[in-house]
Structure 1
Amino acid sequence: MRTMTTLIVSVCVAGLGFIQPIQAQSPSKTAVTLQAVEDSFLVRNYMLLAQRYQIDASKALVRQAKMWNNPSFSAVFGFGSTNRIMPFNLAGKGGEVQYSIDQLIQLAGKRNKNVRLAAAATRMSEATFDELARTLRLQLRENFYNIYYLQQSEKVLKAQLGNLQRIVDAYVTADKKGSVAHADLIRLQALQVGIENDYADLKQQELEAQKNLQQILHTGDFYEATIVAADLARYKLENLQLSQLLDSVAKNRPDVRIASIEYQTAELNYRLQKAMAVPDLHLGGTYDKEGSNIDRFLGLTVGIDLPVWNRNQGNIKAAQLQIGAEKQQLQQQQSIAQTEVLNAWQRITALEKRYKSFDLDMFRGEFDTLIAEVAKNFSKGNISLLQFIDYFNSYSDNAKNINKFLSNRVNAYEELNYATGQELFKN
């Protein structure tokens, strides 16, 4: 009995390699850095590519708005008279041919105002592209960091399961010989099931993050996220002022720029609608070969609509009211942006207080030492199997909690990037 117990304890102590994460990578996964997936994202994401086409289309409409209206041409060919039909009687006695050309000339600066509206539409397309890129970049980075920290936790749990399996196998053999209490084997197997469930949960979370990343990058590849210390060292609030970030959102956030452009567009449309109340001028010329007492008559034609009934009153009033609506939308978007910046800042501040309150590397080392001491005391019979199981289980919880905290911390910084519309933390 004593010999078998010693053997089991030795296996337990030897199995304490779970404190070192497994370094082997799955051959089905591609090791990538954040920079690599971002470079791929910019050239492979279909939504971004589609929005680039939209920008080019908007620029084409600016060129179109600069074009003059085409002149109109008309002709009259003589067909004789009601007394005598003579088709296409163009010359001689009773012959007639007449040509007219007409050019529409827009007054009150309508053409320039339409050009400005088209230019505003181009700026809107560009701001929409920036907003789409900002949103997708946040999703990409959050999923990348989630994958990285989930994989770190998985390595710890995978190592634990490997070592725990050896312990369970030893207890199964001992249980068959009656050398250990069967209840102890049941407790170990229950621990094994619990850790396996935790590992499966982590894998499910990782698969969800992998799926999100694949959808953004439009690929079927699975990734092994790679991060070096320098990638994380840049995340700090040094040299940043909250007041400056709050003041800069109007300039840097694409969604605020979109609201601002919509307000500017409403103002431009109001000016255009007022200009539309001014009639346009028709200027042209006419040539009549035989149709008057003057042979080969030339004339200048001038025409203009008379604004008697329709002076565009309804469109002008609607455009004026739209300015008020867009102004309120702009103020609302600015308020939302500042609130998001403030909340992101406060979240980072709270996380940094916890992050700086203890040295994670030292904590991990101390916890590893603690587990080793627990193993020694267990081998000496100073602690029970239940206590050993409790410490064993606490180690996986510690690994998951630390990695979850680190993931939350780095994603909080990325949310501040998103909230401000800037790249605040560059290498």
Structure 2
Amino acid sequence: MIRCAGAVTERAKANELGQSLVRGFTTLVLLLPLSSCAFQSYQASDLDPEIVAKLLSERRTALSLLRQEQSRDQAGALSFAEAADLLRTRSPALGQALTRYRSAVIRAGIKTPFPNPEIEFGPERGFAADLASPRWSGFFSFSWALPLSGRRGDLDSVHAAQAEAAAIDAVGTLRELYLELRHRYLHFLVASEREQVRARLRDAAALSLRTALGLVEAGTATALQTSLFRLEHARERTRLLDARSERQKAQSELAQLLAVQAELLQAPALSSAVKGPKLSNPGAIERKLLEAWIIDHPQLQRLRAEYEIAERQLRLEISKQYPDLVLGSGLSSETGDKKRVLGLSLGIAVPIFDQNQVGIAEARAQRQELRSQYEALVHSILAKAELAAKQLTLHREKRRILEKEVLAAARDNVSIARQSLEAGSAGSMELLDAERSLREIEAELLEARLEELEAGAELEQALGRPLLQLAGESSLEDSKWSDAEELNKAAEREKTAEGRSER
């Protein structure tokens, strides 16, 4: 900085510059330790792929040891209660949500600081009127910008809203994973049940084929009739392979969600694992009840949290349009003279042109966009829930007809064919045909049960709440999937696991 002085006296000393610089440097040396007390040091945390892979492999295989310590009603069968515990302690998706939650809490816990003050010092050079007597002196200045609006508090409010949104996201992720667990668990049970039924149907088809071959040798059946049973036996074998493939896929999907090895999971009997739906008539859900249920839908809760962030962000952008008050002071000396000059100043930017118009407009647009998304999502959830409820009613009625009427009629046909064979009014081929028809209806009934359970799972996911009562569940309104205390416990478990992995 160069300043021109009107006159330079002969009394200026050559050491004025040195003294001024020493004073400024001394002040800076005294202030820096005060600020450096809060400085943080860097600590490296390497991501070793071999260690991570080894740790995750050990966690995936640890279920076998856990099963040796726990007792079960069915040896080796995975109960839903155990699957829910594994989800809370092992789910990678839940771990990611908890990590985001902790990060947001840490950021919200740090209050927005005041702006840092600024210090300037340096030399000034003065010139005499005849440009023949240059002199040097030093200057020192201090300035501090103080926000006039509540911008700091508004920014803290935004961070707090983001922490609340992260907590809502973690709880929503927990609930969504719980519903997804129910879906995959039911799919695994039904797929295992289908494989067992297909194995029984294959054995029954093999028995019918052997019987038909015996009838051919006895001369009471033709080769064409025998070829039909041979074809059915081959088809049942291929259907069993398809059922086994579907069971392996369902087993793998469930293991992926629980972060365990698929071979360690075994399904209990479907009849003992599912108690039945809570709704007696899902198609007759009242509109008010449906609307009340979707209020707690995880996706809607997330959007409401994002809308609250947008509200606070708009408040922050509005507060940014007000300028800061700058307090300043300066100390300098007259060139060539011993007297010192102390100056105090107040400065403020006049917001004539820049009033943060862009930031405010974007914040308002973001708020309106979230409102539109929320309304669209409500319509979508209502439509999906209504359709899923109607589909569940239809699939339930289909299963009831097959179970109460069609299956009963097929069993009666087998009984009549057996009685006719004993009375001599019908042949063995009629009995075999009736048994084959019964097997097809049993397979069709199994598929109808699968469709009913799938429709129930879709209704659960549409409403964001459980409806089917599974064995091991104390209540469908289990608060541990939405309670903040459970979330904190899950966060502590995740933090402990990370600490072990670092060691």
Q: Same fold (TM over 0.5)?
A: yes
Q: Which residue of 2 aligns with 1:322?
A: 366
CA offset digits 1:124-168 (Å, max 9, x no partner): 333333444444433332232122223223323312323443453
Q: Which of 420, 425, 429 does residue 377 from structure 1 map onto?
A: 420
Q: Does 1:143 align with 2:184?
A: yes
Q: Which residue of 2 aligns with 1:159?
A: 200
Residue identity opposite 1:76 in structure 2: F
Q: Does 1:60 align with 2:106?
A: yes
Q: Which runs of 5+ in 1 are unaligned?
A: 1-28, 84-92
Q: Which of 436, 456, 477 does residue 393 from structure 1 map onto?
A: 436
- Does the 8 Å CA contact 1:127/1:255 hold for their aligned counterparts? no
Q: Which residue of 2 aligns with 1:257?
A: 301
Cα distance in 1, alignment partners of residues 219 and 127 from structure 2: 128
Q: Does 1:117 align with 2:162?
A: no
CA offset digits 1:303-341 (Å, max 9, x no partner): 222213211223223333333322221111111122222
Q: Which of 217, 221, 245 does residue 204 from structure 1 map onto?
A: 245
- Does the 8 Å CA contact 1:157/1:396 hold for their aligned counterparts? no
- Give the direction of change, closer, same or farther, for the CA distance of 1:150–1:387 in structure 2 (3 Å limit): farther
Q: Percent identity?
A: 17
Superposition deviation, residue 97 in structure 1? 5.4
**More deviation, 201-210/366-375:** 366-375
Superposition deviation, residue 82 in structure 1? 7.4
TM-score, with length taken from structure 2: 0.66
Cα distance in 2, alignment partners of residues 105 and 420 from structure 1: 50
- Does the 8 Å CA contact 1:250/1:257 hold for their aligned counterparts? no
Q: Which of 255, 260, 276 does residue 214 from structure 1 map onto?
A: 255
Cα distance in 2, alignment partners of residues 177 and 116 from structure 1: 90
Residue identity opposite 1:151 in structure 2: S
Residue identity opposite 2:354 in structure 1: N
- Does the 8 Å CA contact 1:285/1:301 hold for their aligned counterparts? yes
Cα distance in 1, alignment partners of residues 272 and 343 from structure 2: 81
Q: Does 1:248 align with 2:292?
A: yes
CA offset digits 1:261-280 (Å, max 9, x no partner): 33333332322222211112
- Does the 8 Å CA contact 2:191/2:250 hold for their aligned counterparts? no
Alignment: residue pair count = 386
- Give the direction of change, closer, same or farther, for the CA distance of 1:52–1:343 in structure 2 (3 Å limit): same
Superposition deviation, residue 62 in structure 1? 1.6
Superposition deviation, residue 189 in structure 1? 1.0
Q: Which of 73, 92, 97 does residue 51 from structure 1 map onto?
A: 97
Aligned-partner SS, 1:105: strand
Superposition deviation, residue 72 in structure 1? 2.9
Q: Which runs of 5+ in 2 are unaligned?
A: 1-74, 129-134, 469-474, 477-503
Q: Which residue of 2 aligns with 1:275?
A: 319
- Does the 8 Å CA contact 1:150/1:403 hold for their aligned counterparts? no
**More deviation, 240-249/167-176:** 167-176
**More deviation, 254-263/273-282:** 254-263
Aligned-partner SS, 1:319: helix
Residue identity opposite 2:443 in structure 1: K
- Give the direction of change, closer, same or farther, for the CA distance of 1:377–1:401 in structure 2 (3 Å limit): same
**More deviation, 160-169/211-220:** 160-169
Cα distance in 2, alignment partners of residues 298 and 57 from structure 1: 47
- Does the 8 Å CA contact 2:104/2:163 hold for their aligned counterparts? yes
- Give the direction of change, closer, same or farther, for the CA distance of 1:231–1:154 in structure 2 (3 Å limit): closer
- Does the 8 Å CA contact 1:145/1:225 hold for their aligned counterparts? no
Calculate the aligned-residue CA RMSD, in Å. Answer: 3.6
Q: Does 1:37 align with 2:83?
A: yes
- Give the direction of change, closer, same or farther, for the CA distance of 1:199–1:258 in structure 2 (3 Å limit): same
Superposition deviation, residue 30 in structure 1? 4.6
Q: Which residue of 2 aligns with 1:90?
A: none
Cα distance in 1, alignment partners of residues 277 and 108 from structure 2: 42
Q: Does 1:74 align with 2:119?
A: yes
Aligned-partner SS, 2:203: helix
Residue identity opposite 2:245 in structure 1: Q
Q: Which residue of 2 aligns with 1:303?
A: 347
Superposition deviation, residue 187 in structure 1? 2.3
Aligned-partner SS, 1:407: helix
Give runs of aligned pairs for residues 333-348 of structure 1, distance below 5 A.
333-348=377-392
Q: Which residue of 1 aligns with 2:500?
A: none
CA offset digits 1:170-209 (Å, max 9, x no partner): 6557767988643343222112112212222222222222
Aligned-partner SS, 1:406: helix
**More deviation, 299-308/267-276:** 299-308
Residue identity opposite 2:445 in structure 1: I
TM-score, with length taken from structure 1: 0.76
Q: Which residue of 1 aligns with 2:68?
A: none
- Give the direction of change, closer, same or farther, for the CA distance of 1:62–1:183 in structure 2 (3 Å limit): same
Q: Does 1:413 align with 2:467?
A: no
Superposition deviation, residue 111 in structure 1? 1.5
Superposition deviation, residue 108 in structure 1? 2.1
Cα distance in 1, alignment partners of residues 429 and 154 from structure 2: 81
Superposition deviation, residue 374 in structure 1? 3.1
Superposition deviation, residue 80 in structure 1? 6.6
Cα distance in 1, alignment partners of residues 329 and 239 from structure 2: 87
- Give the direction of change, closer, same or farther, for the CA distance of 1:295–1:58 in structure 2 (3 Å limit): farther
- Does the 8 Å CA contact 1:171/1:185 hold for their aligned counterparts? yes
Superposition deviation, residue 385 in structure 1? 4.9
Superposition deviation, residue 49 in structure 1? 0.7
CA offset digits 1:320-376 (Å, max 9, x no partner): 33333222211111111222222233233334445666865x986775565355345
Residue identity opposite 1:248 in structure 2: A
Cα distance in 2, alignment partners of residues 369 and 224 from structure 1: 35
- Give the direction of change, closer, same or farther, for the CA distance of 1:358–1:190 in structure 2 (3 Å limit): closer
Cα distance in 1, alignment partners of residues 205 and 288 from structure 2: 53
- Does the 8 Å CA contact 1:48/1:132 hold for their aligned counterparts? yes
Aligned-partner SS, 1:104: strand
